Structure 1
């Protein structure tokens, strides 16, 4: 994975994290699961910001700092995060739809 792909992945994850944080923060009387997801996404958002800074200033890093990060581990981590955020985004879209149309009944009505 080239540096531009990594940068694009991190930028996309930052946008997704901001979207999720915005949605979950506005949820009134959110169940504890939603509050836990919000906390985790906020933590990931901080990590992605640090990673973005590291990538954007990669040329300024010492060889010791650069060697601490395995490219393979970074690719695996980013791929997993992209998949997770995609699934979470789909779930949030379903919640928005449910808010407009009302709760779904299990009877197909």
Structure 2
């Protein structure tokens, strides 16, 4: 079964068609702090990633990728940040640090 992107509202699945369009899929980091940053960034209430959870390349900025090898990798410390959230999920006046403090 193809993996589906865990980002809110994203319908990308890890298929040959999507990969041919340049969409890559990346597992959540093993580092607990960075994993938590990714989980908070996607803004899915009650979401907890598993070893099989993935995000597609859509929510990452281009500079967050290392394309120097045969496979596309996320650079160390890169976190997803390029989302198109509906109004009720958009932050108003809060930095990402404020969001972590308020909701943890």
TM-score, normalising length from structure 1? 0.22
CA radius of gyration, larger in: 1
Q: TM-score, normalised by structure 2?
A: 0.23
Which structure's residues are more often helix, by fraction? 1
